[in-house]
Homo-oligomer: A and B are copies of this chain.
Amino acid sequence: MAVKVGIINVTGYAGAELARLLHNHPEVEITSITGRSEAGKKLTEVFPHLAEIDLTIEPDLTDSIDFVFSALPHAASAEACAPLARAGVAVVDISADFRIKDPAEYSEWYGGAHPAPDLLPAAVYGLPEIYREQIKSAKLIANPGCYPESALLGLAPAVKAGIIAPDVIIDAKSGISGAGRGLKLNLHLGEAAENVSAYGLDGHRHLPEVVQELASMWPVAEAPTNARPKVTFTPHLVPMTRGILSTCYAPLNGGAALDTATVRHVYEDFYREEPFVRVADTPPSTKQTRGTNHCLVYPTVDSRAQRLVVVSVIDNLVKGAAGQAIQNMNLMLGFPETTALTGLAVYP
């Protein structure tokens, strides 16, 4: 019998993508979807491409849901998820609310007190390539942010192998769907097309998440537990809809005489068994992952500057949001990890 799934706030891009992918999941049935301003409408009125999903958007979840995805903005999401989580319902939260372990740091970056700090200790950061076993037994998942997802997968093998110094630059280029479906002037096609811009130059909210996760990966000898890696993160808006390409830079550790081939071996070993991460043979591009849960990483050594340069690409709405959430659900419920995520990229 199918697992009954609910999607809170289906009316954003992450919510719609959850619906798209779950519709073809053989083990689950979407039985309840919510939205705020659009409550009362049929899903197809908001998203004609989801016409085959015959559901009405409701203000709140119906009862008897087995599994919940929340695609609400931060704060609102924790408020909606907390009672469910406390009642024992399995939850994947796509917002930032359960990612930052330290409630004080959460307050610093997101403002206001954390709505449910009691749930933070049990929440697992939903990056299966790092936390697969913990995810399997978790009931509350903090789905990674789209930028951290691409950066962490690009850096994890090097950090864990101890080959780079804790001094990292992440220069990320994102399609505009990462900024959501809300109306903002900089997302107007007239402004965004044929245009590239940097933003968040005084600190983007995904920075503390990246720092926290990199810090926990770093070998102790390199970065003592009370130290945190120095990370500069610069997001950019590029004129496309989907996709993130993160270019990550870090100095190679002095001792090692590392070349690109050696570093590639480190990465290939790290990701050998991963269903969704591949070390690319040529510099990857975002479109190679469009619509899919894949991440392609491409590490190289700049031998002139003795620097690691890693390019990492994902679809921000799939591996960076809805697909990652479903991968987490599959792990939590014991389904094959790739269920409903086997589609190949819609290219070109």
A280:B348 contact, CB within 8 angstroms: no
Q: Which residues of A contact B (CB under 8 A)?
A: 13, 16, 20, 23-24, 44-45, 47-52, 167, 169, 171, 173, 175-177, 181, 183-185, 187-199, 201-203, 230-232, 234, 236, 238-243, 245, 247, 249, 260, 278, 280-292, 296, 298, 300, 302, 304-307, 309, 311, 313, 342-348
- Give the distance in Å from the alpha carbon of A245 to the alpha carbon of B201 in the complex: 14
Q: How many copies does the complex hold?
A: 4
* Chain B residue nearest to A179 in the complex (CB): B190
Closest to A194 in B: B240
Among residues of B, the one whose C-beta sits closest to the C-beta of A173 is: B196
List chain B residues, Cβ under 8 A from A344. Answer: 20, 23-24, 49-50, 52
Q: Which residues of B contact A306 (CB under 8 A)?
A: 230
12 contacts across the A-B interface (CB closer than 8 A):
A173-B236, A195-B286, A196-B245, A196-B313, A197-B285, A198-B247, A198-B283, A202-B260, A230-B306, A232-B249, A238-B239, A242-B348
Which of A45, A167, A199, A241: most chain B CB closer than 10 A? Answer: A241
Taking CB atoms, residues of chain B closer than 8 Å to A348 are 13, 177, 181, 190-191, 193, 241-242
Known: A189-B189, A232-B307. 10 other contacts (CB 8 A): A13-B348, A20-B346, A49-B344, A51-B278, A169-B307, A194-B243, A196-B285, A196-B286, A232-B304, A234-B247
Q: How far is the CB of A316 from chain B (nearest CB, A)?
A: 11
| CB-nearest residue of chain B to A302 | B232
Judging by beta carbons under 8 Å apart, are B49 and A288 in contact?
Answer: yes
Is the CB–CB distance between A49 and B289 below 8 Å? yes
- Measured between alpha carbons, how far is A176 from B190 in the docked complex, in Å? 7
Residue of chain B at shortest CB distance from A203: B304
B contact residues around A296 at 8 Å (CB): 48
The 9 closest A-B pairs by CB, nearest first: A197-B285, A49-B345, A183-B183, A190-B348, A195-B287, A291-B346, A171-B171, A189-B192, A49-B347
